[in-house]
Amino acid sequence: MPDPVVKTVDVNCSAAEAFDVFVNRTAKWWPLEKHAVSAGSGNAALAVTIEPRVGGAVYETMHNGERAEWGTVLEFTPGEKLAMTWHPGSNGDNPTRVDVEFEALDDARTKVTLTHSGWEVWADKADTMRDNYNGGWVLVFETRYAQACVPA
């Protein structure tokens, strides 16, 4: 079984703000033109939404207004942790898992750790899928999300 993908960034905002940016402002930083179901048809998605509660949906609003399911919120502790199933556009019956933890370093800085696990659901494609996401999270999380975390 492949190891989880783990990405960590230190951002220049409080844990509450870092959590808010990740959950409530996802569409402002997510690379909708590249990392979305719509991108597969050459069109940028309109939005990514994380419903802020346990059991909430994680979904994309596609270029044509249709909804593509990405996952379900499993844990939701504002300013501390978000966990969700993960299956953008495929494998909805056997999703992987994404955990995002927020650790305040001081009043103005936060360490945010994203752990993407559960690759075994992909069976013989597990290593390939892990490698793809390992690279994808660099742009999505380490670059775009980290740049979006600036004090309001």
pLDDT, tens digit, for every residue of 91-126?
Answer: 788 899 999 999 999 989 999 999 999 999 999 999
pLDDT for 141: 97
- pTM confidence score: 0.95
Give the residue ranges of DSSP H helices in the chain: 15-24, 26-29, 126-137, 146-148
pLDDT, tens digit, for every residue of 52-85?
Answer: 999 999 999 999 999 999 999 999 999 999 999 9
User: Which CATH number characterizes residue 42's domain?
Assistant: 3.30.530.20
Domain range for 85: 5-148
Spatial separation of the C-alpha atoms in residues 52 and 133, rounded to whole Å: 24
pLDDT for 151: 66
- How many domains is the chain built from? 1
Q: Which residues of 60-99 are buried (b: 16+ CB within 10 A; e: fewer)?
A: bbbbeeeebbbbbbbebeeeebbbbbbbbeeeeeebbbbb
Query: Average model confidence (pLDDT) for the chain?
Result: 95
Closest CA to 151 of 20, 52, 49, 31: 20
